[in-house]
Amino acid sequence: MRDVPIRADDELTRRMAALTGKSLTPLALRWPDSANWLWRSEELSPQLLKLARRSPANDGFWWGIQQLFGFDRWQVPEALTRVPGWLPPHLPMAPLPMTFLDRLQQAPLWSLPWRHAAPPVMSEALAARLGDQLGLLHQEAQPGFGHPVGDISPLSSWPERARAFVENHPRRDWIGHMPSWPQPAKSVWCLPDLRSDQFLEGATDWLWSDWEALVWAPLELDLCLLELLLENAGHRDAFIAAYGRRHPIPDLTDYRPGMRALAVLLALHGEGAGDQVSGHPHWLKD
């Protein structure tokens, strides 16, 4: 028996329609822990409406983002919409603009323009675009780790912050021995929950549809998390060829155990995925 798709129920949809004054169709969520309820507005120029359903109070990923980076999107829903304007221009997968509309029982509500496009599967084409995308996002060093509309900490304090996060995490048992935490080289824009389904592949262009978890984080974290998406040598070669036009791949050997520990504790690949994450090939080895 197939699982029944999760979507907003009739009562929540009715309340959303009353709040927005729009006719709405609830959309199926891709994951049980999806961050937002989703609707499509039925109008001449449809919108995608996103109502936050997960927060640091009820979700391990968002709690982890708050603990590591001092960022909670529930606290700054309007300021969050300014992030695309702070990113480098001419990204090969441009971020869709997001507008803050209102709150429903404290939960933020945003809208994005509707696009007739589908999330791509992981492929050499996507790996190459990710190489270009990260190459541009890594051009400029940020003044610390955190978030420009939240807390910003000096990069020198990252090893202590990361070590304390792992040591005091409620699921510390998911990690074996405590990894080492060398000093990162610089801080860059990083999407901790990077996945292929956060992009859209249209007929003429590709778009970045889900960027709201973007933070300033160590360069080595972003590359170690990207590495976990690469499935074969073709993906690796496509990413390195594109990324390498702007930056060399740094030596991740000493950083990889710690960054993968964070991936496990943030449940980026599902709860209890320690063996899967730790055993993933070192595609970006020097």
* Per-residue pLDDT tens over the stretch 73-112: 999 999 999 999 999 999 999 999 999 999 999 999 999 9
pLDDT at 203: 77
For the stretch 141-186, pLDDT in tens is 999 999 999 999 999 999 999 999 999 999 998 888 999 999 999 9
Containing H/E element for 110? strand 107-113
Asked if 87 contacts 55 with a C-beta cutoff of 8 angstroms, the reply is: no
pLDDT at 1: 39
| Whether residue 3 has pLDDT greater than 80 | no
Q: In CATH, what is the architecture of 10-60+72-113?
A: 2-Layer Sandwich (3.30)
Domain regions of the chain by residue span: 10-60+72-113, 124-278
39: three-class secondary structure by DSSP: strand
Pairing of strands 107-113, 93-95: unpaired
Q: CA 244 to CA 135: how far, in whole Å? A: 8
Average pLDDT, the chain: 95
For the stretch 269-280, pLDDT in tens is 988 788 899 999
Asked if 199 contacts 126 with a C-beta cutoff of 8 angstroms, the reply is: yes
Q: What are the tokens at 167? A: 């040591």
Asked if 56 contacts 62 with a C-beta cutoff of 8 angstroms, the reply is: yes
Query: Is the whole model's pTM more than 0.85, yes or no?
Result: yes
Question: Looking at per-residue confidence, does 2 or 114 come out higher?
Answer: 114
Q: Which CATH superfamily is domain 124-278 in?
A: Aminoglycoside phosphotransferase (APH), C-terminal lobe (3.90.1200.10)
Asked if 96 contacts 112 with a C-beta cutoff of 8 angstroms, the reply is: yes
Q: CA 155 to CA 146: how far, in whole Å? A: 9
What's the pLDDT band for 286 if we cut at 50, 70, 90?
A: low
Report CA torsion sign: 240, 244, 247, 252.
Answer: positive
